[in-house]
Amino acid sequence: MRSQLSIRPTEFTTPTDLYDHLPTFPDTSSGLQTLKRDGHLLAVLSNGTGSMIGSCLANHDLRDVFSVLISADDVGAYKPSGLVYRYAAKILGRPIDELRLISSNPFDVIGAKTAGMRTAWINRAGTSFDSIGAPPDITTASLTDLREVLRGRQTPTPNRAQ
């Protein structure tokens, strides 16, 4: 005889509910705030929907840090498709080679670099970069380190070979 599992509505969580409450890294808020104070225009480029992006940022009090929220959902394609990165350049009104994608996801860095963006990989785990694509322009261990590299006060972390 099979037993039946029942879940009450208050016990059910959707993946999008979890997305809204993803924990941030300790340097996220201060790192982003400092990049913004340094004069960088910060934008979110996500495969999430606009409402998912907005909810996630609101739940972490990060909405004010970003000038623009860009959803790949508006393109009908998803990262790492070059269409998404070119769409971001169009929305931001800048040539793609003047933009820098910052991500901890190698697939995202590779997609952006292939599309013509400058890239920075936040290598929080201290691992080797994926060898399926060109390495990032900058590799650092944190947003704090990235800020120092962009200010010229620190050298990037070398991209370790696999």
Q: Specify the pLDDT at position 92.
A: 98
SS3 state at 45:
strand
How would you write the pLDDT of the chain (162 residues) with one tens digit per residue?
566 666 666 655 666 667 677 789 999 999 999 999 999 999 999 999 999 899 989 999 999 999 999 999 999 999 999 999 999 999 999 999 999 999 999 999 999 999 999 999 999 999 999 888 889 999 999 999 999 999 988 787 766 543
Q: Tell if the pTM clears 0.75, that is, is over it.
A: yes
Give, for 70, the enclosing helix (H) or strand (E): strand 68-71
CA distance 111 to 84: 9
What's the DSSP call for residue 148? H
Q: Rounded to the nearest 10 degrees, what angle do helices 143-150 and 28-37 cross at?
A: 20
Sequence-distant (≥ 6) Cβ neighbours of residue 103 within 8 angstroms: 109, 112, 119, 120, 121, 122
